[in-house]
Amino acid sequence: MKSKLNKIDVFSIVLGSIIGWGSFMLPGTKFLNEAGVINTAIGLFLGALFIIIIQSSYYVMLENHNDEGGEFSFTYKHCGRNHGFIVGWFLLLAYLTIIPLNGTAFPLVIRKIFGDLFQFGYLYSIAGYEIYIGEIILSNLVILLFAYINIKGIKESARVQNFIALTLVTLVFTVFTIMFVKVDRSNFLRNYIYNYKFEIGEVLKIFAITPFAFVGFDNIPQICKEYDFGAKTASLIAILSVLIGATIYSILNLTTGLVYSPEEALALDWALGTGVLATIGKFGFLLLVIALSAAVTSGINGFMISTSKLMGSISNHNMVPKKYSYINENGVYKNAILFATTISLIAPWFGREVILWIVDMSSLGAAIAYLYVCIIAFRIGDTILRKIMSLLGIIASLLTILLLLIPASPAALGRESLIALGLWIILGTIFYIKVVSSYKVKHS
């Protein structure tokens, strides 16, 4: 009998997927400069509230739908093949981009420790980002390692994830505590507290990225067949993970703000790491780098699991070749893992800037998936409270989509991301017409 995941396993997979490379880098490159400390925290926790509202609709889904593929198979069941494909197509993009995003982050971690050790074999530059064969090899080795772990079985990957997630959370709080005690807080108060003003535009800039920042909670419906506890427990794990995730994002931003003004942080390559190194020294910096490495690897592992589950479900619904629904002796979709691995091995050749453009527009894809779940939950919800929560989820999802698409919005997608979005939609349309429609539709 296959070993089931316990509550700690599921919690580690979800939390590890929420806290990735961005939580360590965004304080310097985005958060402090665009929203400071307080408005960033407000934006993050409003985003967490948004996800918790969405989660009430996911609770309805988990109660009524015990099938891998999460939002995709749920939409397929209630809205049909066309809508199911739209959700699956956008979700697949959101999942697939996170693996190489974290994979290409690993060489950046190594840069912080060993300098330009892997910056050999210069190939070319894309959007100002220099691409080296040495760093591509390093990224690919990390991705291949987690592909191997996942092919060995989900219980094996969950065991690895437990250790990584515990290390990550412990070290983040340890570094923050030491920084808070050692640093001169007068500059922090002057930069972020005394002259603080609530700015809705700043809050919305942060709020708009939270569908993607917290998309890790979406692992739960993907792995619903791997655990044997109920929808209520699964929902509580998701909510707890999102709240802890928002707290860690905020703490890492606060840690950076303790040392630097927004202008100083923006001018640095890695403001958080530089600040820790200057304040605590090499030991503190080493702890931070270990935490960052844990965040990077947990993101790769968590979304390797979700991508394979989603791809396997899409295959089971006859939208891609049946080989992707093949389950090996360890109970995992081996060919789906190999597919995710292949795409992830190709992505580093395009450089991090291109991956980041795609990641930015993936927030839209995640919000579209949330919207579908909320609409269906509104239709099938059996109490007034559930219908109200689903309606709030619909409104929140639409708000996020508008924030990303309206040009005048403070959180509007950039030109490159919009181009990537257009290309993805065109590619999906071609794929649907040429490939999906050629497969025989099976009616349950």
> If pLDDT is split at 50, 70 and 90, which confidence band does 10 have?
very high
More confident position, 369 or 104: 369
Reply yes or no on whether the pLDDT at 112 is more than 90: no
Percent pLDDT > 90 in the chain is 51
pLDDT per position as a tens digit, 158-183: 888 899 999 999 999 999 999 999 99
Across the range 387-397, mean pLDDT stands at 93
Give the residue-averaged pLDDT of 189-211: 89
Rounded CA separation 172/439 (Å): 48
Whole-prediction pTM value? 0.88
pLDDT of residue 400: 84
Judge whether 399 and 374 are in contact, CB under 8 Å: no
pLDDT at 3 (0 to 100): 66
Domain positions in the chain are: 7-438
pLDDT tens, residue by residue, 55-98? 999 999 999 888 888 899 999 999 999 999 999 999 888 888 88
Does pLDDT of 403 surpass 80?
A: yes
Can you give 149-215 as a three-state secondary structure string? HHHCCHHHHHHHHHHHHHHHHHHHHHHHHHHHHHCCCHHHHHHHHCCCCCCHHHHHHHHCCHHHHCH
**Mean pLDDT, residues 277-305:** 89
Residue 211 has pLDDT above 80, yes or no: no
State the pLDDT at residue 443: 40
Res 439: pLDDT? 66
Which overall architecture, per CATH, does domain 7-438 show? Up-down Bundle (1.20)
pLDDT digits (tens, 9 = 90+) for 232-286: 999 999 999 999 999 999 999 999 999 999 999 999 878 999 999 999 998 999 8
Q: What is the CA radius of gyration of the chain?
A: 21
Does residue 100 contact residue 143 with C-beta atoms inside 8 Å? yes
Which whole-number Å values give the CA distances from 133 to 99, 128, 140, 331, in the listed order?
A: 19, 16, 10, 35
Closest CA to 297 of 136, 110, 99: 99
